[in-house]
Amino acid sequence: MTVNKPLEGKRILVTGGTGSLGKALVRRILTGEMGNPENITVFSRDEGKHYQMKTDWKNEKAATDDIFYHNFEHLLEFRVGDVRDYAALVPAVRNAEIIFHAAALKQVPSCEYFPHEAVKTNIEGSHNLVRAIRSHNNPVETVIGISTDKACKPVNVMGMTKSLQERILLEGNLGQDKVDFAAVRYGNVVSSRGSAMPHFREQIRAGGPVTITSKEMTRFFITMDQAVDTVFDCIMHARRGETLVPRLPAALMTDVIKAMIGDNDIPVEEIGVRPGEKTHEIMVSEEEALRTVECEGTYRERYYAIRSIIPEVSGGLPEKLAMEKEYSSRDSVIDFDGVVDLLQTAGYLQRVGQVA
């Protein structure tokens, strides 16, 4: 059987390419598992992270398991720019064929205190990208947007702006058949800067207390490699206009803290829900369930695929639905042993009570 290599010979643009997901995505692309690209452009407004990313990889023996730095340094281009700036995006997309749109403001409390900043990056930035692609003669074939479970039935600014980001990207399919726009939506990435786990780890190392906002809180969790798998599966299996949602475990945050503390005598303090924070996350809403089907993947066993709300893109309602109710973290909680396995897989525990 021939393995699909959708990135073979392609020119790739990664917006937000110096963020947690962007860096992991670029590193995995460089392994060649999805094909060897002609060029990768890392687009980000943070020149300090550009420099750090280049320096870290240049000083490593290998940035990937099988590609040494001198072999791929000509593949990588670092471009300083902000998705808020339309003029900066136009030349960035000029030669791109595949675009992974990971640029975003994603810290929930920060977005609550500075909502217009989230609007400018998550909404206006995504509009700028679609406009730059559709207003100029360029070779773009596929755009994959990176979203979050907080975009589903949003109650906070981050989720509201990411929800609109999804709609803006997927609306890009209307009136043209040259570029395919699709998206992925997943839960908390265990090792990302936005995750609570690095915060808990530092609190444990400092002797506590470990702070939790609510003892009822549940969250969907995904490892960084699984997040990249989801992005890769989206480009291979999702239809234009679809949002691909991995079937993920959810955990009580109290179990996460218990696993990380282990037998250590460290106090836990409940401090109250932060601005804009949900008790439970929802990956697929009841309304979206009416247009959600199951989708097979290459890296993970199964996904839910939410068809576009726009009938001109979706082709109408599917005949066979994947679910009858919303997909909530409240209903998908794994037991304590499952939490330990999850944290060990993500590299956060060597064994219970020994934080990596």
Containing 236, the helix (H) or strand (E) segment is helix 224-237
What DSSP string runs through 208-233? -PEEES-TT-EEEEE-HHHHHHHHHH
CA 257/CA 213 separation, integer angstroms:
12
DSSP strand pairing (11-15 vs 98-101): parallel
Structure tokens at 228: 């990249």
Active site (annotated) includes residue 258? no
In the chain the beta strands, taken as DSSP E runs, fall at 11-15, 39-44, 76-80, 98-101, 142-148, 180-186, 188-189, 210-212, 218-222, 243-246, 250-252, 268-270, 282-284, 292-296, 302-306, 327-328, 349-351, 354-355
How far the first Cα of the chain sits from its last, in Å, is: 39
CA distance to 36, 98, 226, 335, per residue, from 12 (Å): 11, 5, 20, 40
Catalytic residue, candidates 10, 23, 106, 150: 150
CA 251/CA 50 separation, integer angstroms:
34
Q: Which of 213, 231, 238 is nearest to 313 (CA)?
A: 238
- What is the crossing angle of helices 253-261 and 197-205, to 10°? 40
Give residue 331's region: left, alpha or beta (phi > 0; psi -120 to 50).
Answer: alpha
CA distance to 55, 78, 103, 184, 261, per residue, from 48 (Å): 10, 11, 16, 28, 34
The residue behind tokens 């975009």 is 151
CA 224/CA 194 separation, integer angstroms:
12
Q: Which of 96, 107, 187 is nearest to 144 (CA)?
A: 96
Q: Which residues are catalytic?
A: 150
